[in-house]
C-alpha cells in the first residue's frame, strides 16, 4: 500500500461524498472558444475523474457581466451554448464516477499579461484600480454591484440545475472578489469599503448570501481565498489570527461551507509561533473543513511555471505530516494534474517512480 494511503480515505460533507482527499485545483486553460467548453474540455475532466481525483474544481468560469473574463477562450457559466457544454462535462465526469464543482469567477480589473484582448466595458472593480495607484475603469455603481451579486447567484443556480455536486467561488489572487477584500484596490466609503476586513468582506458575504438563497442550505459552497495577490505577492490580508478570524467568520456565517486556502507553497506558516499554514488556521478558527494547495508533489511553485520553470516530483512527507495532524481535510493539486491525468492513481497505488516532471510546455494542450 502507498505511504499516501491517508489521503485516500473518503470524505463526506453535507451531501458531498468524495472517494478520497485529492482535489484537482482550478486551472484556467483557455480552450473554450467564445466561452463554450468543447468536447476536448469535457474529455480532459473525464480523464481526471476516471483516474482517482476525489473532487474536480473546474478552471475559472465566468459569471454574466461584460468584463468578467480576461480572455475570449475562458469558459462562460451562462448562456445556452456554454451551459450545454458544461452539461456535457458534468455528465462525462459523473459517468466516470467523479465529483465536480465549477469555479465561478469574475476577474474584475485584473488584466491578463498573456493576451492583448480587452473585455467590453464596463470594467468592474471596487474603486477603478487594477492595483494600488493604477487606474483602470471606474468604481462600480450600486446597480453594477447588485447585478454582479445576482450574476454569481444565477450561475450557482445553474450549476445545481446541471447536476454539479457543489460550487466554488473564486475569491482569491487579486480578482474581483479579492479586489474588494484588499485595501490596496478597495477605497470605497460606502458599505462595501472601510478600514477593516468585515467591511471589505461585505461584497463576498452578499454574494455568499445570494448564492445560498439560490441553492438552498444543503448544497456545498466552497470559497477560495489567498493572502497574496497576483499584483503583489507580499500582501497579506490578515497579519494575526484575530484578523484572520474577522475575515473568515463573516464568510462562514454568510454561507461558506469549505475554505480553499490558496498558498504558493503549502508548507509556509501563516503567523509566527506556529507552523500552521493558511488552511490549518482557517480550520482552527472557523471549524469548517479546509483545502490546502501549493506545490504539492512538485519542487517549484506555479508562478515560476508561467516564467518557463520546470518542476520535479517532490516528497509528500511534509504534506502527510500536516494531514495526519488534522490541519486540513482536502489537498488540491494543480500542475501535476495538468501534465499527468493519472497522477492521483499513481500516488494511490504507490507508483511514485512513474511520476514525471512538470514542464510549462504542458500548458499548450489539453491531455
Ligand X SMILES: Cc1cc2nc3c(=O)[nH]c(=O)nc-3n(C[C@H](O)[C@H](O)[C@H](O)COP(=O)(O)O)c2cc1C
User: For the chain, where are the alpha helices, taking DSSP H only?
Assistant: 39-50, 80-95, 142-162, 176-181, 197-200, 202-215, 241-254, 278-286, 302-306, 317-324, 335-339, 343-348
- CB 99 → ligand X: shortest distance, Å? 17
> Which CB, 285 or 298, lies closer to ligand X?
298
Binding segment toward ligand X, per CB under 6 A, in 142-150, 185-193, 213-221, 333-341 = 333-341
Is 346 buried (19+), middle (13-18) or exposed (0-12) by CB count in 10 A?
buried
Residue 319 pairs in a beta bridge with none
* Residue 108 CB, nearest approach to ligand X (Å): 13
Determine if 244 is a binding residue for ligand X (CB under 6 A): no
How many whole angstroms separate alpha carbon 202 and alpha carbon 218? 23
> Quick check: 341 binds ligand X (CB under 6 A)?
no
Contact flag: residue 224 with ligand X (CB under 6 A): yes
User: What's the DSSP call for residue 98?
Assistant: -
CA 251 to chain centre: 15
Instruction: Using the minimum distance from each CB to ligand X, give the nearer residue, 125 or 295.
Output: 295
Interaction between residue 172 and ligand X (CB under 6 A): yes
**Does the protein bind ligand X through residue 47 (CB under 6 A)?**
no
The catalytic position among 44, 45, 175, 219 is 175
Nine-digit cell string for 319: 504534506
Stretch that binds ligand X, among 39-47, 176-184, 289-297, 317-325 (CB under 6 A): 289-297
By CB under 6 A, tell whether 83 contacts ligand X.
no
Q: Which of 101, 211, 279, 296 binds ligand X (CB under 6 A)?
A: 296
Of 334, 339, 346, 355, the one binding ligand X (CB under 6 A) is: 334
Residues comprising the chain, all counted: 367
Cβ atoms < 10 Å from Cβ of 62: 27
Stretch that binds ligand X, among 133-141, 186-194, 196-204, 297-305 (CB under 6 A): 297-305
Query: Is residue 60 within the footprint of ligand X (CB under 6 A)?
Result: yes
11 phi, psi to nearest 5 deg = -135, 130
Site string for ligand X, 253-282 (x = CB under 6 A): ---------x--------------------
Residue nearest to ligand X (CB): 334
Q: Is 27 in the site for ligand X (CB under 6 A)?
A: yes
Helix 39-50 and helix 80-95: axis angle, to 10°? 30
Secondary structure (DSSP) of 310-341: -B-B---HHHHHHHHTTS-SEEEE-HHHHH-T
To the query of whether residue 175 is one of the catalytic residues in this protein, the response is yes
CA 26 to CA 9: how far, in whole Å?
22
Among positions 105-164, residues that touch ligand X (CB under 6 A) are none
The site for ligand X (CB under 6 A) is made up of 25-28, 59-60, 103, 170, 172-173, 224, 262, 293-296, 298, 301-302, 305, 333-336, 363
Please give the positions annotated as active site: 175
Amino acid at each position: 500500500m502507498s505511504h499516501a494511503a491517508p489521503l485516500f480515505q473518503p470524505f463526506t460533507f453535507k451531501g458531498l461524498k468524495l472517494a478520497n482527499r485529492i482535489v484537482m485545483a482550478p486551472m484556467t486553460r483557455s480552450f473554450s472558444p467564445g466561452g463554450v467548453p468543447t468536447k476536448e474540455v469535457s474529455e480532459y475532466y473525464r480523464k481526471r475523474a476516471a483516474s482517482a481525483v476525489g473532487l474536480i474544481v473546474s478552471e475559472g468560469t465566468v459569471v454574466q457581466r461584460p468584463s468578467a473574463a480576461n480572455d475570449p477562450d475562458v469558459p462562460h457559466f451562462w448562456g445556452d451554448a456554454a451551459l450545454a457544454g458544461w452539461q456535457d462535462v458534468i455528465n462525462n465526469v459523473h459517468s466516470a464516477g467523479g465529483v465536480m464543482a465549477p469555479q465561478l469567477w469574475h476577474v474584475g480589473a485584473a488584466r491578463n499579461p498573456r493576451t492583448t484582448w480587452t473585455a467590453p466595458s464596463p470594467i468592474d472593480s471596487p474603486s477603478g484600480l487594477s492595483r494600488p495607484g493604477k487606474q483602470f475603469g471606474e468604481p462600480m455603481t450600486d446597480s453594477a454591484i447588485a447585478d454582479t451579486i445576482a450574476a454569481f447567484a444565477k450561475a450557482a443556480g445553474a450549476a445545481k440545475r446541471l447536476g454539479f455536486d457543489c460550487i466554488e467561488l473564486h475569491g482569491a489572487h487579486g480578482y474581483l472578489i479579492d479586489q474588494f477584500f484588499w485595501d490596496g484596490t478597495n477605497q470605497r466609503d460606502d458599505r462595501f469599503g472601510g478600514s477593516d476586513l468585515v467591511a471589505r468582506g461585505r461584497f463576498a458575504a452578499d454574494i455568499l448570501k445570494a448564492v445560498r438563497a439560490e441553492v438552498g442550505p444543503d448544497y456545498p459552497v466552497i470559497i477560495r481565498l489567498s493572502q497574496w495577490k497576483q499584483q503583489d505577492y507580499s500582501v497579506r490580508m490578515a497579519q494575526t489570527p484575530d484578523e484572520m478570524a474577522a475575515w473568515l467568520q463573516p464568510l462562514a456565517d454568510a454561507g461558506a461551507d469549505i475554505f480553499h486556502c490558496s498558498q504558493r507553497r503549502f508548507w509556509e506558516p501563516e503567523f509566527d509561533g506556529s507552523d500552521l499554514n493558511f488552511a490549518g488556521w482557517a480550520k482552527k478558527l472557523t471549524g469548517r473543513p479546509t483545502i490546502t494547495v501549493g506545490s504539492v508533489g512538485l519542487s517549484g511553485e506555479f508562478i515560476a511555471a508561467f516564467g518557463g520553470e520546470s518542476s520535479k516530483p517532490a516528497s509528500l512527507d511534509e504534506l502527510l505530516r500536516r494531514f495526519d495532524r488534522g490541519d486540513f481535510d482536502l489537498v488540491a493539486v494543480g500542475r501535476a494534474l495538468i501534465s499527468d491525468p493519472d497522477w492521483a492513481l499513481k500516488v494511490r497505488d504507490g507508483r511514485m517512480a512513474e511520476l514525471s516532471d512538470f514542464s510549462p510546455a504542458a500548458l499548450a494542450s489539453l491531455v
